[in-house]
Amino acid sequence: MQKGPNFIEKIIKDDLQKGLAQKNLCFRFPPEPNGFLHIGHVKAICINFDLGETFNAPVNLRFDDTNPTSEEKKFVDGIKKDIKWLGYKWEKECYASDYFDDLYNWAEQLITKGLAYIDSQDSATIALQKGTPTEAGKNSPYRNRSKEDNLFLFSEMKKGSFMEGEHVLRAKIDMSSPNMLLRDPVMYRIIHMSHQRTNKDWCVYPMYDWAHGQSDLIEKISHSLCTLEFKPHRELYEWFLYAIGPTENKTPKQREFARLNLSYTITSKRKLKRLIQEGCVDGWDDPRMPTISGLRKRGYTPESLKKFVRTAGVAKRENIIELSLLEFCLREHLNKISPRIMAVLNPVKLIIENYPEGELEELSGEINPEDQKSGKRMIPFSKEIYIERDDFKENAEKGFFRLSLGNEVRLKNAYIIKAKSVEKDQNDQIKNIICTYDPLSKSGSDTKESKRKVKATIHWVCSKKAKKIIVNQYDTLFLVPDPDKHEDFIKYVNPNSLVKKNGYIEPYASKLKAGERVQFQRQGYFIVDKINADKQIIFNKTTGLRDSFKNQKKH
């Protein structure tokens, strides 16, 4: 975890020292409702809401809903659900669209002040005149339109008298500014489309740069925090605030922090949308997606996500955080909270020769050794059980300590067994493993045999009482650590990112409900995705017990 205040906290402390009143602190998280939130947004959410907690200041949720072509109500609802799930409470729920009237009036004032004009060229021509970073742009032939004409055309634009693209409103700044964003940026464009909140009220919509600072001003945001790509926009942000002034020293202050980038992961809504459109995943909340809704379905906890972004820290320089750090934070939390259970995902039958036919015994196992109060669970045991196929080898090579012919292992929470022989089917596949057990070796009993050390302990389930389950197992969605760097990222989608398995689980699982998390002993952490019509539980694998990224062997 980052030690001491981060650079943003330092800026705020400094401002407080210089006379900014504590009561004037206010932050906001400003998502555009054009998709669901992803892990990168968790960072921005934590930065803002944690500042709110640290400085005891309000944090608004502001929907930056200025572009009806890509925004939808379902995204607004999804974003609210995700922030609540993370455990944060916003002060006010705001919408840039609530400020459309103010923005329009301010735009008229800018025209009146000679600081904005209607350009009637098409967007390609306007782009051509922008120049390059080393070459000044050219003034639009409409730059010196009279204020009266500008005001009239602007009001006609608002009335819907023109088609899309016929006119735009531009700020009149400087076509030779070294900052390209100041070369007469577009403030309004015509869009004839219904908006999810204002319906058909408007056919001119403000651009992000024009809406954002003014929305901050209206909400009295003290510190407007965004990602580094907005740094060049700061000059424009400040120009607009100054242009509509006077606002004295109450203007919001934009400061930038580095985006969160995560290996093997894409954090761009546009690209995530493409994954859905091209059928690589089942939707925004597919458990392979780095969206908050996907991570939730995968079994991540809000605590682990917050721990992760806080550990990754707040920096001014872009970097890529290893996925293993995210999984470390996840495991650390899941280890504390997950009830233990045994499940076999690649089963082979094991028959205990000397165990009485027809007998069914109730053994007991700890629910969670990390939680004293969790108590015990009952685990049925009988002559026939399932173990993992991988936990047995007829002839063990050196270093294989699990079950093999002539050798012993302990069955978790049960007895020591010894493998005698195998029975095979026509395909030479092992059908049954025949064993004997030591009746005195029962785990937790008082005998010296129960304390006898054997080289390995394996998990199992009683075949009579086991319940059938379906398990979705995941691998990274991408085969390369830096898919975000490739425009053709779709090419690197992992074709084996989802594998479905059938397995067996202890009957204790029938207590589980959708959304509950468990640890399958020796295997990893799983969440109940749903229970199907046949009462069969479908689990999603959240993560393994160990870091699978340490020895990357994929390329």
Residues that bind Mg ion (CB under 5 A): 32
Of 496, 517, 550, the C-alpha closest to 263 is 550
As a whole number of Å, the CA-based R_g of the chain is 31
Residue 243 CB, shortest distance to ligand ATP, in Å, is 23
Instruction: Assess 311 for contact with ligand ATP (CB under 6 A).
Output: no
From Mg ion, ligand ATP, none, which one binds at residue 298 (CB under 5 to 8 Å depending on kind)? none
User: How many Cβ atoms sit within 10 Å of the Cβ of residue 362?
Assistant: 8
Give the residue with the Cβ less far from ligand ATP, 44 or 518.
Answer: 44
* 537: Cα within 13 Å, side-chain hemisphere: 27
DSSP letter string, 353-409? TTSPTT--EEEEEES-TT-GGG-EEEEEE-SEEEEEGGGEESS--TT--SEEBT-EE
Q: Which DSSP category does 207 fall into?
A: -
Residue 269 annotated among the catalytic residues of the structure: yes
Q: Which stretch binds ligand ATP (CB under 6 A): 35-43, 185-193, 462-470, 519-527?
A: 35-43
Instruction: Assess 377 for contact with ligand ATP (CB under 6 A).
Output: no
> Among residues 62, 145, 189, 259, which is the contact residue for ligand ATP, using CB under 6 A?
259
Residue 84 CB, shortest distance to ligand ATP, in Å, is 17
Give the residue with the Cβ less far from Mg ion, 32 or 361.
Answer: 32
Residue 62 annotated among the catalytic residues of the structure: no
Residues 87-102 as b or e (16 or more Cβ within 10 Å = b): ebebeeebbbbbbbee
User: How many Cβ atoms sit within 10 Å of the Cβ of residue 488?
Assistant: 7
Q: Which stretch binds ligand ATP (CB under 6 A): 25-33, 108-116, 124-132, 346-354?
A: 25-33
> Among residues 25, 31, 153, 410, which is the contact residue for ligand ATP, using CB under 6 A?
31
Residue 41 CB, shortest distance to ligand ATP, in Å, is 5
Residue 425, SS3 per DSSP: coil
- Whole-number Å distance between alpha carbons of 337 and 343: 18
- Whole-number Å distance between alpha carbons of 330 and 324: 10
**Sign of the dihedral defined by the CA atoms of residues 184, 188, 191, 193, in that order:** positive
Instruction: Assess 252 for contact with ligand ATP (CB under 6 A).
Output: no
Instruction: Assess 28 for contact with ligand ATP (CB under 6 A).
Output: no
- Whole-number Å distance between alpha carbons of 504 and 493: 30
Instruction: Assess 41 for contact with ligand ATP (CB under 6 A).
Output: yes
The one-letter code for the residue type at 129 is Q
Q: Which stretch binds ligand ATP (CB under 6 A): 99-107, 197-205, 259-267, 323-331?
A: 259-267
From ligand ATP, Mg ion, none, which one binds at residue 198 (CB under 5 to 8 Å depending on kind)? none
In the region spanning residues 395 to 454, those forming contacts with ligand ATP, defined by CB under 6 A, are: none
Instruction: Assess 43 for contact with ligand ATP (CB under 6 A).
Output: yes
Pick the catalytic residue: 62, 170, 189, 259? 259
Residue 259 annotated among the catalytic residues of the structure: yes
Pick the catalytic residue: 28, 62, 170, 269? 269
Instruction: Assess 40 for contact with ligand ATP (CB under 6 A).
Output: yes
Residues catalogued as catalytic: 32, 259, 269
